[in-house]
Amino acid sequence: MSLKNKKIIIGITGGIASYKVCELIRLLVKNGADVRVILTPNAKEFITETTLSTLTKNPVYCEQFNPKEWKPEHISLADDTDLFVLVPASANTIGKIANGICDNLLTSVVAAFSKDIILAPAMNCNMWENSFIQQNIKKLEQHNYQIIRPESGNLACGYEGVGRLADVQTIFDAIVKNFEKKKLLSGKKILITAGGTKEPIDPVRYIGNHSSGKMGIAIADAAYNYGADVALVSTVDINKPYSVVKTNTALEMYESVKGHFSSADVLIMTAAVADFRPVDFCKNKIKKEKKDALVVELVKNPDILKEMAAIKTLQQTVVGFCAESENVTDYALKKLDEKNLDFIVANDISLPDRGFNSDYNEVTIIDKNKKQYKLAKQAKQELAYLILRYIFKIKDFDNG
């Protein structure tokens, strides 16, 4: 793929692997990219501005504020770029980014950057395995940062283990793939629901479930990264670059989904919607004094998935999720037929370390022709891409 007219920022932090960035820049420029470089102050101990400006044919940035410019440097650089690649990413800078610290130009640009960010860490193996570093990596991944994990080998510090910067070609391929994937679902409008609804009994108590919303949010992230126009109806309060509608109850979710459905190409219902809600809401907290039992009368909630599938057009696709603890495939097939779905994604919530509240899942996708495709246990972020590729029949979907 040509990178012509693609504007890319390369952020370089202080580390011995900095010298490898020169080859990455050469590949990017050769393929038509307009490359700008931002250095941290410590990076200047390892690589010179002269080398980098010669390779990019552009100025190299390091100072937080340039008094000659009316617009702050970190804002102007962030606004005028398609992709930010941080390579090598040191433990120090990863920690700053994960916690919103903006004490130099590089971290300030990252904080102001609203598009895709790729990080390629490099550090001592013990540092990489440090639990705080891993927590920061996980935190960044949950916020849509792409991490190109370091490789195992002999390190400059004399140790051997995981920490060596990923191969330059691997990083270059990830950059190219980032631009390619933006085209896969371009022009598609995808409506996604996530989280478990909460049906209030009184101002303190509610009927709910264990759904964390992680799978739905991962699918929304993946769809956005594939270039789709995404609307997420979520019971989880999150900040994303796509449209997010916060709801709490099943009725609120129903109204929101109904309002968005007509313009959607695909509806993906991952939300765990409560089947019932209390008939009456007590305005004051119910007291337990002199009560050995409490009876709450319930009424059925709308079946959002079934109702949307009933009014879908021939051009629309409706996808349901099915969380079961037994006879998973049988129940999934029954729901597929009863609700007139195009696909159903079934998962067994009785299995350990997957499903509700876990970062991992293991699912089976079943289409309306009863064809089944099993996806082994893996991170929900990875599953999300595979599910979308299967639904949209993207070539080589099983390769991610």
- In the chain, what is the straight-line distance between the N-terminal and C-terminal CA atoms, in Å? 18
Please name the CATH architecture into which domain 7-181 falls.
3-Layer(aba) Sandwich (3.40)
What is the C-alpha to C-alpha distance for residues 348 and 325, in angstroms, rounded to an integer? 5
What is the C-alpha to C-alpha distance for residues 366 and 364, in angstroms, rounded to an integer? 6
How far CA 175 is from CA of 21, 90, 258, 298, 342, in Å, comes to 13, 19, 38, 52, 34
Q: Quickly list H helices, the chain.
A: 21-30, 49-56, 73-79, 91-98, 105-112, 125-129, 131-142, 168-181, 214-225, 250-261, 304-311, 328-338, 380-391
322 catalytic, yes or no? Answer: no
How far CA 117 is from CA of 84, 89, 295, 400, in Å, comes to 5, 12, 52, 19
3-state DSSP assignment of residue 293? coil
Parse the chain into domains and list their residue ranges: 7-181, 189-399
7-181 and 189-399: identical CATH topology: yes
What is the C-alpha to C-alpha distance for residues 338 and 263, in angstroms, rounded to an integer? 24
3-state DSSP assignment of residue 393? coil
Residue 76 CB coordination number (10 Å): 15
pTM of the model: 0.73
Candidate list 22, 102, 157, 322, residue with the active-site label: 157
Please name the CATH architecture into which domain 189-399 falls.
3-Layer(aba) Sandwich (3.40)
pLDDT tens string, the chain, 400 residues long: the values are 579 889 999 999 998 999 999 999 999 999 999 999 999 999 999 999 999 999 999 999 987 655 455 455 556 677 778 999 999 999 999 999 999 999 999 999 999 898 889 999 999 999 999 999 999 998 998 788 999 999 988 877 777 889 899 999 999 999 998 888 878 899 999 999 999 999 999 999 999 998 999 999 999 999 998 999 999 999 999 888 899 999 999 999 999 999 999 999 999 999 999 999 999 999 999 888 767 888 899 999 999 999 999 999 999 999 999 988 889 999 999 999 999 999 999 988 888 776 677 888 999 999 999 999 999 988 888 899 999 999 998 765 444 4
- How crowded is the C-beta side of 73, counted as CA atoms within 13 Å? 19
